[in-house]
Amino acid sequence: MENITVRYSTTQRRLVEIAIINVLLLWMFPFFVFKLIISIPFLLAMGFSIWYMESFGLDFEPETGNLCYHTALSKPYYFHVSEIQKISFQNIRTKSGERLFLSIHPPCKQILIILGEPSNSGGFDETWDSYTNASELLDFLQRYQKTEGT
């Protein structure tokens, strides 16, 4: 079995790309100085956002139990699933409504993964901002805990 990576959702990445396209379309209108003042900082911020989103990830190997957490602003952090000190769920209110997060606590870190909206059945429903492969990660962690506890 191959590595699986948890990442920002495709929709989140597409929204940033659409914002960049909108600013580039702004260049087609008059008032060059105004465009320059507005566009350059915005394009830099969106470029940083894309770079950050693309560099974020939590890779896991289901066969070995090894995980690697990486972001744009830090070195990759490697740990084994057996080193996880705590796994919990957190309901957090965001701009787009209430979201259910998976909180993973390896030594000296906290990793939050958006699962989706809390559902009435006690689980969660995936939403536009749910991280890709989050369900697979949750299944992997639950399977591993059952294996280790037996």
Q: Three-state DSSP class for 100?
A: strand
- Give me the amino acid identity at 41: P
Per-10-residue mean pLDDT of the chain, 150 residues long, equals: 85 81 69 67 82 90 93 93 93 86 94 91 85 92 64
- Beta-bridge mates of residue 105: 86
What pLDDT, on a 0 to 100 scale, did the predictor assign at position 33? 62
What pLDDT, on a 0 to 100 scale, did the predictor assign at position 47? 83
- Give me the amino acid identity at 124: F
Closest CA to 116 of 107, 104, 132, 105: 132
Q: How far is CA 51 from the centre of its chain?
A: 13
Q: Three-state DSSP class for 85?
A: coil
